[in-house]
């Protein structure tokens, strides 16, 4: 029995699909709770298709469901009695693509022993196994969806599925499935139908509102671009600096929300375009920026603030050809801090490296050579300086503040305006909402920003000017700056 079980790891496979098919059969037959190791592989597969296909099978690791150091979540805010499945099981194996024979093979490095019992009864009680049975069997899926649509109780739903298909689903499984299926019980409409209703309402409300949709080959939604008349007006009025970033967990379908934001006369962030997309790959980002270009004048934009996403930066340069692309200082320090933290050197050295990097960030060329030498000295014995030189010094004009002195960026060095807006959004948009509900909340966020802007303007009009009121003076100064920028731009256009 054990020899038959281990013989699986001597096989070779023609392609990835062949391996996955045989692997599922092996897991079900021998009741092995094994999954692919959580990593960025799946994300990379979505965002870098062309590159990823070349190296797809270079190295993939599978581990036991109980792998990892044993722990229990007892931090403040965790759910009551929430426990981890980790019990430090060392079972793992690796597969790779052997280019010499063009086969998927197992590597020699593996450990096939569990530190816990495995049998059929235990195997069927794992939540990810139950969910596979629910999603993998079309008959089970359709029956469960029909019962939920008919408002059948969770108890009767479980009982019928167990009787007909011998699947032991829990109450939580049914409730999770109820949330995840794209079906809204209000009015017996699917989420796609509700989304179409909201899109029609947005377009009918104002003919200048814009919605653009991108579908894949199967007819499923890939991208949804949204820009109301108010958002266009903000972009036309405040085009100097734009902030771009994405956020997740704003809908149950796991679509990422990309937001483009401008700064109004009060230096408050206001959204000027939205794009919901199933993944931030090159094609989807090009769709987003092409829609912005076709519907707006992007020639007046002088600064784009982003984090260090190379795919995004390369595409932005094409669509915003007259703008300088700057990196958010907060994200720069965050990335470098995480990299320095991984170095196997004393804590004092790591702290000195970060101290000199911060000095480099705000230096104006007088001491740069000394700070760089300190970074190199403190990181001796590691490859950090080579990494820093290749990845950061090569694009220092994008993150060092000395290169921003002559730009109209309103002394903005971070994407904090956008981060604050995202945090406000997530107070109103829950991860369990469908896309149709998410779209409604996004439009309401635009109305809220417009109302806040009007209230600020009215209060400034009614306020008695007081020389000791620093807030009023600051806002008055920012409006003067905006007016001066408009005049300088017109003068510059006349000289061309």
Of 93, 87, 86, 89, nearest in space to 111 by CA: 93
Query: Would 458 be classed as within a structural domain?
Result: no
Same-domain status, 111 and 58: yes
Same-domain status, 324 and 203: yes
- Give the domain CATH number at 213: 3.30.420
Q: How far is CA 411 from the centre of its chain?
A: 27
- The pLDDT, as a whole number, for residue 43 is 43
Same-domain status, 242 and 164: no
Mean of pLDDT over the chain: 81
Of 299, 296, 238, nearest in space to 481 by CA: 238
449-490 pLDDT per residue, tens: 998 888 877 776 665 555 555 666 666 677 677 777 777 776
- The pLDDT, as a whole number, for residue 55 is 43
Of 165, 141, 170, 168, nearest in space to 154 by CA: 170
Query: Would 454 be classed as within a structural domain?
Result: no
- The pLDDT, as a whole number, for residue 469 is 59
The dihedrals phi and psi of 79, each to the nearest 5 degrees, come to -70, 145
- The pLDDT, as a whole number, for residue 44 is 46
Contact predicate 69/86, CB 8 Å? yes
197-206 pLDDT per residue, tens: 899 999 999 9
358-376 pLDDT per residue, tens: 998 888 777 888 888 999 9
Contact predicate 269/420, CB 8 Å? yes
Same-domain status, 211 and 293: yes
What whole-number distance in Å separates Cα of residue 260 and Cα of residue 63?
40
Same-domain status, 305 and 438: yes
- The pLDDT, as a whole number, for residue 51 is 40
Split into its structural domains, the chain has a count of 5
Same-domain status, 295 and 400: no
Other Cβ atoms less than 10 A from the Cβ of 284: the count is 20
Q: How far apart, in Å, are the Cα atoms of 229 and each of 76, 270, 296?
A: 43, 13, 11
204-215 pLDDT per residue, tens: 999 999 999 999
Other Cβ atoms less than 10 A from the Cβ of 201: the count is 12
104-143 pLDDT per residue, tens: 888 888 888 888 888 888 887 787 777 777 777 788 778 8
Of 30, 35, 31, 13, nearest in space to 22 by CA: 13
Same-domain status, 198 and 283: yes
Same-domain status, 142 and 282: no
Same-domain status, 220 and 315: yes
Reported residue count of the chain is 496
Query: Would 455 be classed as within a structural domain?
Result: no
Query: Of 67, 91, 119, which residue sits at a domain end?
Result: 119
Query: Would 48 be classed as within a structural domain?
Result: yes
The dihedrals phi and psi of 258, each to the nearest 5 degrees, come to -95, 130
Per-residue pLDDT at 147 exceeds 50? yes
Per-residue pLDDT at 42 exceeds 50? no
Q: Which of 29-33, 47-51, 174-178, 407-411 has the largest mean confidence?
A: 29-33
Expressed as residue numbers, the domain containing 396 is 330-404
What whole-number distance in Å separates Cα of residue 419 and Cα of residue 270?
12
Per-residue pLDDT at 56 exceeds 60? no
Q: What is the mean pLDDT of residues 183-194?
A: 65
- The pLDDT, as a whole number, for residue 494 is 63
Same-domain status, 279 and 421: yes
- The pLDDT, as a whole number, for residue 439 is 92
Q: How far apart, in Å, are the Cα atoms of 473 and each of 288, 463, 470?
A: 38, 12, 5
Q: What is the largest CA-CA distance in the chain?
A: 88
Query: Would 453 be classed as within a structural domain?
Result: no
**pTM (2 decimals)?**
0.66
> Minimum mean pLDDT among 249-253, 288-292, 367-371, 407-411: which range?
407-411
Query: Would 186 be classed as within a structural domain?
Result: no
Contact predicate 303/407, CB 8 Å? yes
Query: Would 384 be classed as within a structural domain?
Result: yes
Same-domain status, 229 and 279: yes
């Amino acid at each position: 029995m054990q020899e038959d079980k281990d013989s699986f790891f001597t096989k070779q496979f023609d392609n990835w699909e062949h391996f996955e098919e045989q692997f599922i059969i092996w897991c079900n037959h021998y009741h092995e709770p094994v999954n692919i190791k959580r990593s960025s592989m799946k994300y990379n597969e979505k965002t870098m298709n062309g590159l990823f296909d070349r190296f797809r099978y270079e190295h993939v690791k599978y581990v036991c469901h109980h792998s990892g150091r044993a722990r229990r979540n007892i931090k403040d805010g965790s759910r009551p009695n929430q426990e981890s499945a980790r019990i430090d099981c060392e079972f793992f194996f690796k597969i790779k693509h052997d280019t010499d024979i063009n086969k998927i093979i197992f590597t020699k490095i593996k450990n096939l022993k569990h530190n816990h019992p495995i049998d059929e009864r235990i195997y069927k009680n794992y939540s990810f196994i139950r969910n596979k049975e629910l999603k993998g069997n079309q008959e089970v899926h359709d029956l469960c969806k029909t019962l939920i649509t008919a408002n059948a109780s969770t108890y009767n739903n479980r009982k019928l599925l167990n009787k007909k298909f011998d699947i032991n689903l829990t109450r939580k499984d049914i409730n999770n499935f109820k949330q995840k299926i794209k079906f809204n019980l209000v009015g017996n409409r699917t989420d796609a139908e509700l989304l179409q209703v909201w899109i029609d309402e947005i377009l009918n409300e104002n003919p200048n509102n814009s919605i653009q949709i991108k579908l894949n080959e199967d007819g499923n939604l890939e991208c949804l671009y949204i820009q109301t008349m108010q958002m266009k007006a903000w972009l036309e009025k405040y085009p100097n600096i734009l902030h771009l970033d994405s956020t997740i967990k704003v809908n149950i379908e796991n679509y990422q929300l990309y937001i483009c934001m401008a700064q109004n006369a009060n230096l408050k962030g206001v959204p000027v375009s939205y794009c919901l997309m199933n993944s931030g790959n090159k094609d989807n980002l090009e769709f987003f920026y092409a829609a912005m270009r076709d519907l707006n004048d992007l020639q007046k934009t002088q600064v784009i603030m982003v984090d260090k996403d190379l795919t995004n930066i390369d595409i932005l340069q094409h669509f915003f050809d007259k703008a300088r692309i700057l990196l958010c200082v907060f994200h720069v320090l965050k990335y470098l801090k995480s990299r320095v933290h991984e170095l196997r050197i004393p804590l004092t050295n790591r702290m000195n490296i970060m101290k000199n990097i911060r000095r480099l960030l705000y230096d104006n060329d007088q001491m740069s050579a000394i700070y760089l030498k300190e970074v190199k000295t403190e990181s001796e014995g590691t490859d950090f300086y080579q990494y820093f030189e290749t990845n950061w010094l090569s694009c220092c004009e994008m993150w060092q503040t000395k290169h921003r002195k002559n730009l109209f960026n309103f002394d903005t060095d971070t994407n904090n305006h956008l981060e604050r807006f995202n945090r406000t959004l997530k107070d109103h948009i829950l991860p369990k909402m469908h896309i149709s509900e998410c779209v409604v909340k996004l439009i309401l966020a635009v109305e809220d920003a417009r109302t806040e802007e009007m209230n600020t303007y009215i209060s400034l009009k009614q306020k008695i000017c007081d020389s000791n009121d620093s807030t009023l003076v600051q806002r008055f100064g920012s409006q003067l700056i905006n007016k001066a920028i408009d005049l300088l731009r017109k003068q510059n256009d006349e000289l061309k």
